[in-house]
Structure 1
Amino acid sequence: MEESPCNLLSVKIIQIKNLQKADLFHQSSCYVSLFLPTASFQKFQTQAIKDCKHPQWNETFCFRIQPCVKNVLEMTVHDDSNYFKAGHLLTVLFDVSKIQLGEIICLTFPLDPKIQEELDVEFRLESLPIPPERIVTNGVLVSPEISCLEVQMSERKTKKKSTDRNLIFTVPGSYEETQNRSLASGLHPANPVVFHYIKYKESALEIESKSCAAGSNACSPPPPKPPPMSLPPSGLGSHGAAEQSTSAELALDNVMKLTVNVKDWPNDLDVRLGYDLCVEEQMFIQKRKKIVAAALKKCLHLETDLQEPEVPVVAIMATGGGARAFTALHGHLFALQKQNLLDCFTYITGSSGSTWTLSNLYENANWSHQELSREIAEARKNVIKCKLSLLSLKNLEEYSRALEQRQKEGLKTFVTDIWGLFIDKAFGSGKCNSTLSGQKRALTQGQNPLPIYMVLNTRDKYSLEEFKEWMEFTPFETGVIKYGAYIRSEDFGSKFFMGRMMKKIPESKICFMKGIWSNVFSYNLLDSSHACDTCGENIWHKRTWDSVTDIEANPLQPPRPHELNTRLIVPDCKSTQLLRKVITERITTSKIYNFLKGFQLHNGYLDNKNFALWKDTVLATFPNELTATSENLSLTDTAAYIDTSYPPLMRPERKVDVILHLNYSTGSQTAPLEEASRYFLKQGIPFPRIDLSNLKERDLKECYVFEDAKSSRAPIVVFFPLVNDTFRKYKAPGVQRSPSEMKYGEVDVTGPHSPYAIQHLQYTAENFDKLVELTSYNIQNNKYLILQALQRATERKKWQKR
C-alpha cells in the first residue's frame, strides 16, 4: 500500500505545420484527438479545420493523473476525407513522465521530416490540492482506489402520476458500465443501482429515460424524447472525500427523485500482487523438503541427514504430445517410483497431453506412495478403447447438457470445452466431478510433488512470436508470471475488476481445464508461417504491420531509464489491415474472464527485474495495449510456441536445482530443449547453453546431462528424448533379449509411420505396453546419470551454504 498524490496535466494542441495533403488535389480536413486511458475513458478532440496546410487550434485539455502510473498520451491526427488511411493519418504516443512537476514546456513532434510536417503541443503539470490516493502495487501493476456509487429511486410527493418508463444508467469505465431499470406506474424497485469505478478517474453518471411503448396508441406520434441527465465527476465524490451523499431530481415529470450515494470500496484485493511464492506453497515446500531429504539420503547413500538449506529442489518437466505423452509419462513415473527416486522431486510440470496424466493421478491423494501399476492398467484400458463411440448421439447430448450448465453458471463456452469433455471420457474417468483446487488433498502433508500446468495467454492480431504470456496453474493459485499477479485456483473464471472479485462463478471442473491446457487448435496463419520458416514470419509481419518509428520532440535530452520513447505510428491501408486480421485470426482459443482487468502499469514497470525476465512481447513498451486492458484472456497450448513447461520452474523464487526433462514432442526430439535454451538465454534467465544441431535424430542416446559450469544459478538439466536405443537389444538394464524376444524391442516412436503419431488417439494393447516398457527402461538404464545430477546439486547446495 502506497500513498500517491494526484497531478493535473494540461495539454494544449497548438498547431500542425506543413500538413500532408489528403490526395493530389485536396488538402486534409484535419482534427486532433487525445486519449489518456489511465486518466479518462473519454476521448477528446479539437475542432475540425478544413482545407488548411497549417491548421491552428490552441485548444487545451486537462487530465487528472497519478504520477506512479505509466501515463501514455495518444495524440491522433485524423483526416475524414482520406478513405484509404482508415480515418486517421498517424498517432503520437507520448510518455507523460517526461514532463516534470511545475513545468510548462512546448514540444514539437516531427511527423514527416521529408515535408517538415510537425505537431506543436504545450504541456503543463501541476499538483492538485486534494488528498493523496492510496494504491496497491507490486512495482509492475497498480490497483487504484475504488468508489461505490448507489442510485436509489423513489417517488416524490406529488399529485401527478408516474408513467411507465425505462431508465438507462451509465458510468463509463465502471465495472457495470450500463444498467437498465424498467419501472411500472407507481412501482419502483427497492434495490439501488450500483456502480464500481475508479475513484480519481474522470467518470460521470449518465441517466437516460425512455417511455415504455406498451399500451401506447400506434396512431399517435411518440412523445418527445427527454434529454439525458448527467451528473459530473465532481458530483460523484471523486475529489478525495471519504464518503459523500448527493441527491438529484430527474427532470422528466417531477415525480421521480434519485438519491446518489458514493462511498469508498475496501482496498483489500482478491488478486495477490507479488512475485514471491504464496503461503500455501511455502508451507508445502517445508513439508516436502523433509521427504526429499530422506529420499536423497537413501539413494545417494549419505552418512548424515541433509539440513534444510542443503536440500536441492528437483523437478520433472514433461512436454505435450497427446496420447503419446499421456502413455509415456506413466512409464517414466513408474520407473522413477521403482528406483526410489520419485520422492526426490518437489515439482512436476506439464502441458497438453502430459496434463491428462497428472490430472488423473492427482485424484488419488497418495498416488506417488502407492503402486502405479493400477493407474497404468486404467490408462491402458482408456488408450486402447475405441474413441469413435465417444462421438455418439448419447455422448453429444451429454456434452450439450454440460455446456448448458456452464452457461447457467455464468461461464463462456467454446470448442475447447467439448474437447475437454472428449479428453476426459477418452483418457479419464469421464465423470468430470473433480477440480484443480481439489488436488490440494494430495499436498496436505507434502506427500506428492506439486503439479504445475502451463498455458499461454495470446492476443488477437498478433502471432505467438510477437505476443505471448506464460500462465501457470497449481492447486493453490493461477497467475500470469510476468505480472506477478495470482488468484486462488477456485476463483479462476470469476469476474474481477481492479483486483477485486465482483462476481463469484463456480470453479470449472478438471475436464474443462484439460481442454484449456491442451488447446492445440489455435494456430493462426502467422504462427504457421513462423513454424515453417522464420524468415517467412518476418516478411508477413513487415508487410501487414503499421509503421512504428521512434521520434523525440527534444532529442538533446535523452530519456531516463523508466521513460518510454516517443513513438509515431502510421497505419497501413485498409486492405492491408484486413489481411492482417485474416492471418492472425484465432477461432478456438479459450476465452476466460480476465482477472487482471482494470489494473494499470506502474511508472517504473520496465525497470522491475521480475517483469524484465519475461518481457518478450512487442507490446512490452506499449502499456495501453497490455493484458490489463483486455476483457478476456485468450489461452492456448504452449506447444503452439515451444513444447515446454519450463517457465514456472525458472522463476527465481522456486530456486530449482535439477530438472528432469521428459520429452514427448512430435517431430524433432531436441528442438524443444534447444528452443527453450535460446529463449531463456535471450531473456537473461540462467539456463545451460544447449546446441545439439550436430546430432542426427537416429543417433540420439537415451539421456544427456547439461550443466552451466560458470553459473550455479542455472539448473542442471537431465534430458530424456523419446528414443529407442539400447532397448532394441535389452529388455532390462544389462539383460539382453533372446532371438525370439527381439521383436518386442522394435518400438517406432518417431518414424513417419509410427503408431504413436500425434494424430493417433488409440493404440493397440501391444503398442501401449511397448511404449510404457520403453520409457520405463530408459529411466532405469540411466539411473546413474540422474544420481550424478542429484549428487552434484547436493554438493552445490552445501557449497552455497558454506
Structure 2
Amino acid sequence: MLGRVPSRALPALAAVLFQSKERKKAAGGRRSLTWKWETHPYYNLSVKILRARNIKTTDLLSKADCYVALRLPTASPLTSRTKVIYNCSDPEWNETFHYRIHGALKNVVELTLCDEDVVLNDNLSSIVFDVGRIKPGRCLKRVFPLNPETNEELEVEFKVEECSDPPTEVITNGVLVAHRSLCLEGTIDRGDQPRQREEGEKQFKLSVAGAYEKETCIPYRPDPDQDRQTPFVFHADRELCPQLEVQLQQTLTILQEGLGPGGEQQTTVLGMGCLPISSLPLSKKVDLTVPLGKEQSVDLKLKTEESHQDLDVRLGFDLSNGEKEYLDKRKQIASQALKEALNLKEVPCKDEVPIVAIVGSGGGTRAMTSLSGNLSGLQLLNLLDCVTYVSGVSGSTWCMTSLYKDPDWSHKDLQVPINSIRNSVTLSKSGAFSPDRIKYYFRELASLEKDGRKVSFTDLWGLILEYFFYQKENPSKLSDQQESVRWAQNPYPIYGGVNVRINVSGSDFAEWCEFTPHEVGFRKYGAFVRTEDFGSEFFMGHLIRRRQEPRICYLEGMWGSAFAASLDEIWAEVAGTGFAWIDSLKDVIKVVDDSRKLHLRDPLQFKTRLVMPGGILSQIFQDIFKSRFTAGESYNFTRGLYLHRDYVDITEFVAWNGHHLDAFPNQLTPMEENLYLVDGGFSINSPFPLVLQPERDVDVILSFNYSWEAPFEVLELTTRYCKERGIPFPKIILTNEDQKKPKECYMFVDAENPKAPIVLHFPLVNDTFQKHKSPGVELQTEEEKSFRNFVIAGRDSPYRTRNFTYEPYHFDRLVEVSRYNVLNNKETILNALNLALTRRKLKQKNIN
C-alpha cells in the first residue's frame, strides 16, 4: 500500500515499521499493544467506471436502467454515482471519480450496480474491492464477474498516484486509527430584519456531510425575545475535507380536502451555498458572507478548533491502569492464600502466582442463586482469596452486583448477602406493576430522554429488575465498585455483554464488550472509555457531550436483556433450530479473484468479493424474523475511528473468513452510529472470551454452568471461538454418558500446550448431594433425604429461566446443592491450583 513515498516521510515511516515489528515479536503475535503515532502519506485514487455487459433485470417490460454507486467512507462521507443509462443491457459510462486516500487506513471501495427501474430494491450486485492491492503509479483494469451464469460483468479502471499533500500523523493501536478532528462553532447574524407578511416559514438548514451532528435548523427571523445570533456546532474529520452547506428553505402549508385542518407541508429550497471548513484559519474568529444564489446570502461568524492530541477513548490492548494496580496488590494476597491452601513451605513470589478466574453462565434467577452458592463453597474452602477475577453474563451478573454493594464482601460471611438475595427472590413481584411503580418507570425514562440518553425497552426492563432485586430505587453505579477493588480485597469483577446488529444473529456476529469498575470497552478493537463516561457521546476518540453515568439497574437490564432476542433466535431456543429457510434468502457472497494470481496476493489485503443481494422478499423476511425490536441503543464511543490498513493481522478478527462481517471494514462497529449491547448469552452463554484475553494471562478457569439442556455447549462454542482466533484452549473430550448424565466437575488440561488454561467445568447437577449431608458424610434422617432428593431441570421445575420468584424452600435447595458441588470437588480444585503453580514456576525459570 505504501509503495514509493516522499523522501521526507521515510525516516518516520521506517521508525513506525520497526516499532510494529518489535512489538509483534514481543507480544507473541499481537501486532500492537498500545497506541502510537504513525506517519503515512496520502494517495490520489481515481476510479473510472467503464462499462457493464449482459445486464439482466427483473423488469419484464424493458431492459435495465443502470447506474453504478461508489462508496469509500474512508475518503468521502458521500456516496457517488454515475449517470443512468436507460433501457440498455450493455451500458457504457466512462465516468471517473477522484478520491484522496490516507495510507494508514483500510481503504475498501464498494461498487454497486443498480437498476433505477426497480422500485423496491434497485441493487443488482456489489463488488467489494481492497484499494490496498493497487501499487502507486500503476493503473489496474479489472473486469468483475457479476453473475457467472449469465455472463454479467462490470469493467472498472483503478489508478493510484502519489499525492503532493505532505504525510500526516495519526494515532493508532494497530486496529483503529484516529485522525485529528475539527470543531466548527458559529452563529448566523440575521440582523434587524423588518417584519413583513409573507407566505410560509423560512429557515436556514445547516449541515456538514460526515459530521457527528447531522443538521441544524435556525429560523430565518429571530424571536424578538431571544438573541438574534443562534449558535451552531459541528465536529468533522478534517481529512475528509468537510464543507458547511447552508440552505435557505421555505415551508408552505397546502390545505387540501381530506387532509384535516393542518394540511400538507411542502418545503422549497430558495437558495444554497457551501463553505470548505478546512480553508478557515484555526483558533480565529472570522466573519464571512456565504452567497446562496438568486441575490441571496447569509452572514456567518465562524471559528474552527483542531482537536487536542490526547484522546478520551483509550486505544490499546493493555489492561487499564486501575486493573494493573489491582493485580499488583492482588498477587500478594493470592500468594499468601495459596501457601495456606496448598500447604506450601513458603509463599510463592508474585510472578509465580497463577491467575484464577471464575466465569458464571446465564440462566436468570437460577444463575443468580446458584452462583451465590458456588462462591459460598469456595469461601468455605478458604479459596476466594486465590481468585483474581469473577466474570459473568446475564443472571450471574445479577448475583455479582448484589455482592459488590459491600466493598468487603468476600471477607464476610456470604450467608448474609445470600439471605438478602433470598429475600429478593422469594418476595412477590406483583408490586413491580403497581400504578405507583409504573409512574416511577415513566418518570425515570422521561428523565433519561431529557438527559439525551437513547431510551429503549431494555431500560424499562432494567427498572423492573431493580424492583425485583431491591424493591426500591438503587442509586449505585458500576464505577462505585472501584471501592470494592481499591485494596484488592475482592476478586476483580468483569461483566459481559455483546454488541450485535439488530438484524443479524448473535451466532453470526457478536462483539464482546467488557464492563469493569474502571473501564468499559472492546478488547477486539482495543478501545475503552472510563466507566464514568459510558453513555456519553464520543466522536473520533474525543468526548463530545458528557452524559450521566447510568445507574447499575440499567446495565443489569442490558446484561440480562433476554427480550432482545429475534423471532429466529426465540424459535431456535424453543425448537432447537432457527428458520433455516430464511438463511437461503440471504445475500450471496463469492470470491471473484483470479485464482492464478492469488499466490502473489498480500495476506493483509482482502480478496475481491461479489455480493449478490437476496432481493426485496429476503429483506422483508429478514426484517421480520431477524430484527431485535427491543434491543437497547447506546452511543458508540468508537464512532469516527477507522480500521487500520493491517487490522486483519489481529487475532480477534475473523477477517480470514471472507463471508464474516469482520471482512467488511465499511460495515464494522466504528462506522456505526450506535451500539446494540445485549445479553452475552446471544453469543456464548458464559464470558470465556473476556478472561481468555492474553493480557489477563489466566491460568485456571472455574466454569460454573447453569444451563439445563446443554451443560457443555459453552465449552463447545468457546472451543470454536478460540480455534477461529488462534487462542490456546484445552481440548474438550466427553463421552456419551457425560452428555446424558453430567458429573459435578470436569477438569480439562492441554498437557502439550501450557499456554492453554486449565478449565474446571461445573454443570448444575444434583448427583451425590442426594445421598450426602456433606462430602463423605451420608444422610441419615428422612427429612434430610427429602430436602436433597429433587430434580433441578424439567418442565415443571421451579427453576425455569423465566421464573423470577422461588419459594424459600426451593431457593435453599439450589444454594445448598451449588455449595456442596464445590465442596465435594475440593481435591480437583487444589490439583488444578498445584498444576498451575508448577507451570508458572517453570515459565519463570525459562524466562530467567
> What's the TM-score once normalised by structure 2's chain length?
0.88
**Superposition deviation, residue 653 in structure 1:** 0.6
2:673 paired with 1:631: yes
Alignment of 1:264-663 (within 5 A): 264-428=306-470, 430-528=472-570, 530-531=572-573, 539-541=581-583, 543-552=584-593, 556=597, 558-611=600-653, 618-663=660-705
Please, which moves more after superposition, 549-558 or 724-733? Answer: 549-558
One-letter code aligned to 2:177: V
After superposition, the C-alpha distances for 1:588-626 in whole angstroms (9 at most, x for unaligned) are 212111111121111111112344599898211111111
Which structure 1 residue ranges, 5 or more long, are not aligned?
Answer: none
SS at match of 1:195: strand
1:179 pairs, out of 213, 216, 238, with 216
Query: Is contact 1:310-1:794 (8 Å) kept?
Result: yes
After superposition, the C-alpha distances for 1:290-315 in whole angstroms (9 at most, x for unaligned) are 00000001111111111111000001
Please, which moves more after superposition, 142-151 or 423-432? Answer: 423-432
Please, which moves more after superposition, 146-155 or 62-71? Answer: 146-155
Instruction: Please name the residue that 2:708 is paired with.
Output: 666
2:67 paired with 1:31: yes
Instruction: Please name the residue that 1:104 is paired with.
Output: 139
Query: Is contact 2:582-2:618 (8 Å) kept?
Result: no
Counterparts of 1:427 and 1:54 in 2: how far apart (Å)? 66
2:807 pairs, out of 756, 764, 770, with 764
After superposition, the C-alpha distances for 1:627-683 in whole angstroms (9 at most, x for unaligned) are 112221112212233321111110001000011111212323233233323432343
After superposition, the C-alpha distances for 1:63-119 in whole angstroms (9 at most, x for unaligned) are 1111211111111222112347x1132211111111111222322222234443322
Please, which moves more after superposition, 200-209 or 304-313? Answer: 200-209
Instruction: Please name the residue that 2:182 is paired with.
Output: 147
**Superposition deviation, residue 747 in structure 1:** 2.8
1:16 pairs, out of 30, 43, 52, with 52
Instruction: Please name the residue that 2:156 is paired with.
Output: 121
Instruction: Please name the residue that 2:233 is paired with.
Output: 194
SS at match of 2:670: helix
**Superposition deviation, residue 390 in structure 1:** 2.3
One-letter code aligned to 2:214: E
One-letter code aligned to 1:771: L
1:62 pairs, out of 74, 98, 101, with 98
2:206 pairs, out of 169, 194, 201, with 169
Instruction: Please name the residue that 2:4 is paired with.
Output: none
Tell me the matched-pair count: 792
2:826 pairs, out of 783, 786, 794, with 783
Counterparts of 1:680 and 1:45 in 2: how far apart (Å)? 42
SS at match of 2:156: strand
Counterparts of 1:189 and 1:345 in 2: how far apart (Å)? 63
After superposition, the C-alpha distances for 1:117-160 in whole angstroms (9 at most, x for unaligned) are 32222222122222322211111111112112233433679999
SS at match of 2:413: coil
Counterparts of 1:800 and 1:242 in 2: how far apart (Å)? 55
**Superposition deviation, residue 481 in structure 1:** 2.5
SS at match of 2:502: coil
Counterparts of 1:185 and 1:632 in 2: how far apart (Å)? 35
Counterparts of 2:663 and 2:103 in 1: how far apart (Å)? 17
Query: Is contact 1:160-1:255 (8 Å) kept?
Result: no
Counterparts of 2:104 and 2:687 in 1: how far apart (Å)? 34
**Superposition deviation, residue 277 in structure 1:** 0.7
* Alignment root-mean-square deviation, CA: 2.9
Instruction: Please name the residue that 2:792 is paired with.
Output: 749
Instruction: Please name the residue that 1:227 is paired with.
Output: 271
CA 114–747 in structure 1, closer or farther in 2 if over 3 Å, else same:
closer
After superposition, the C-alpha distances for 1:330-360 in whole angstroms (9 at most, x for unaligned) are 1111121122111000000011111111101
Query: Is contact 1:168-1:180 (8 Å) kept?
Result: yes
Instruction: Please name the residue that 2:165 is paired with.
Output: 130
**Superposition deviation, residue 245 in structure 1:** 5.5
SS at match of 2:310: coil
Counterparts of 2:781 and 2:284 in 1: how far apart (Å)? 87
CA 254–430 in structure 1, closer or farther in 2 if over 3 Å, else same:
same
SS at match of 1:777: helix
One-letter code aligned to 1:596: T
Counterparts of 1:131 and 1:243 in 2: how far apart (Å)? 24
Identity among equivalent positions (%) equals: 38
Instruction: Please name the residue that 1:208 is paired with.
Output: 247
Please, which moves more after superposition, 147-156 or 376-385? Answer: 147-156
**Superposition deviation, residue 684 in structure 1:** 2.1
After superposition, the C-alpha distances for 1:49-69 in whole angstroms (9 at most, x for unaligned) are 223343222211111111211
Query: Is contact 1:27-1:52 (8 Å) kept?
Result: yes
Counterparts of 1:201 and 1:706 in 2: how far apart (Å)? 52
Query: Is contact 1:526-1:540 (8 Å) kept?
Result: no
Alignment of 1:714-725 (within 5 A): 714-725=756-767
CA 79–249 in structure 1, closer or farther in 2 if over 3 Å, else same:
closer
Query: Is contact 2:190-2:228 (8 Å) kept?
Result: no
CA 152–761 in structure 1, closer or farther in 2 if over 3 Å, else same:
closer
**Superposition deviation, residue 786 in structure 1:** 0.8
SS at match of 2:794: coil
SS at match of 2:109: strand
Alignment of 1:786-801 (within 5 A): 786-801=829-844
CA 528–236 in structure 1, closer or farther in 2 if over 3 Å, else same:
farther
Please, which moves more after superposition, 736-745 or 502-511? Answer: 736-745
Instruction: Please name the residue that 1:260 is paired with.
Output: 302
Query: Is contact 1:351-1:645 (8 Å) kept?
Result: yes
Counterparts of 1:422 and 1:224 in 2: how far apart (Å)? 47
**Superposition deviation, residue 552 in structure 1:** 2.6
Counterparts of 2:658 and 2:360 in 1: how far apart (Å)? 23
After superposition, the C-alpha distances for 1:537-583 in whole angstroms (9 at most, x for unaligned) are 55431x22122221137953642111111112222231222112211
After superposition, the C-alpha distances for 1:422-444 in whole angstroms (9 at most, x for unaligned) are 22222236331000011000011
**Superposition deviation, residue 503 in structure 1:** 0.8
Counterparts of 1:171 and 1:610 in 2: how far apart (Å)? 34
One-letter code aligned to 2:244: L
CA 579–254 in structure 1, closer or farther in 2 if over 3 Å, else same:
closer
One-letter code aligned to 1:44: S
SS at match of 2:240: coil
**Superposition deviation, residue 748 in structure 1:** 1.9
CA 113–323 in structure 1, closer or farther in 2 if over 3 Å, else same:
closer
CA 616–413 in structure 1, closer or farther in 2 if over 3 Å, else same:
farther
**Superposition deviation, residue 716 in structure 1:** 0.8
**Superposition deviation, residue 162 in structure 1:** 13
One-letter code aligned to 2:444: A
> What's the TM-score once normalised by structure 1's chain length?
0.93
CA 446–709 in structure 1, closer or farther in 2 if over 3 Å, else same:
same
CA 314–554 in structure 1, closer or farther in 2 if over 3 Å, else same:
closer
